[in-house]
Amino acid sequence: MKIVVGLGNPGDKYVGTRHNIGFDVLAELGCRWGATKPKVRFEAEVSEVLCANERLLLVAPQTFMNLSGRSVQQFVRFFQLPLTDLLVVGDDLNLKVGQIRLRQSGSAGGQKGLLSILTCLGTEAVPRLRLGIGRPPGNADAVDFVLGRFRKDELQRVDEAVSRAVSAIEVWIQDGLLAAMNQFNADPNSDQGAAPTENGIKRTTGVGAL
């Protein structure tokens, strides 16, 4: 069994915001693989899929971003999950819109949800998949920026990045993190997996709108 944690804030007011792109990846995962109806467990919305004969839990913490670790810690403890079977998906200000990056470990890089997870688990050795949301323009406030929505001219790149992220997770499940890193830590304009769904990526409050 593996667990994919999508980071975001619960509630309709946050749907489609830059900070909630982790939730968008979970929703696309569920659409592509046919997730079960979500349930609430350990302060999170949880759905389940079967991919390449691997049981996968899709976990969207409902604690608000900065307390995400509280929920994730409960899942790791309950399932006695090796951290190599955990993947955290979230936004990154330091990557351009459309870019994705996988890492085996490292600091949170200013991402408060990831920081909460690293703190609660007591280690930086937590695999993560980051999706770029760009930097705030000029002297714009970073908090307002991440809680804002993508511009219309960015949406196609966002949808493509979310779709590539789902494909990267499929490779992670079947072939491991290093294989996924080798294939997807590259220029976003290269061929990195499936195209977005015909009607675009669904943006949700977690996994509950699949």
Q: What is the pLDDT of residue 205?
A: 62
The CATH topology of domain 2-184 is: Rossmann fold (3.40.50)
pLDDT digits (tens, 9 = 90+) for 14-72: 999 999 999 999 999 999 999 999 999 999 999 999 988 899 999 999 999 999 999 99
Q: Cα–Cα distance between 26 and 32 in angstroms, integer?
A: 10
DSSP 3-state of 168: helix
Q: What is the pLDDT of residue 186?
A: 78
Active site annotation includes 28 = no
Q: Cα–Cα distance between 158 and 24 in angstroms, integer?
A: 10
Which of 119, 203, 208, 99 is CA-nearest to residue 160? 99
Q: Is the pLDDT of residue 204 over 80?
A: no
Q: What is the pLDDT of residue 139?
A: 85
Give backbone dihedrals phi and psi of 199, rounded to 5 degrees, phi first: -95, 15
Question: Can you give 125-146 as a three-state secondary structure string?
Answer: CCCEEEEECCCCCCCCCHHHHH
Q: Walk across the sheet containing 39-41 and list its strands.
A: 39-41, 44-51, 54-61, 2-6, 86-92, 128-132, 100-103
For 71, residues 6+ apart whose C-beta sits below 8 A from its C-beta are 42, 43, 44, 59, 61, 62, 63
The β-bridge partners of 86 are 3
Segment 184-206 shows an average pLDDT of 57
Which of 31, 19, 77 is CA-nearest to residue 58? 31
For 180, residues 6+ apart whose C-beta sits below 8 A from its C-beta are 102, 168, 169, 171, 172
Catalytic residue selected from 9, 16, 18, 19: 19
pLDDT digits (tens, 9 = 90+) for 163-192: 999 999 999 999 999 999 999 997 655 444
Q: Cα–Cα distance between 168 and 162 in angstroms, integer?
A: 10
Q: Cα–Cα distance between 112 and 108 in angstroms, integer?
A: 7
Q: Is the pLDDT of residue 84 over 70?
A: yes
Cα torsion angle, 117, 137, 13, 49, sign: negative
Q: Is the pLDDT of residue 201 over 70?
A: no
Q: What is the pLDDT of residue 198?
A: 43
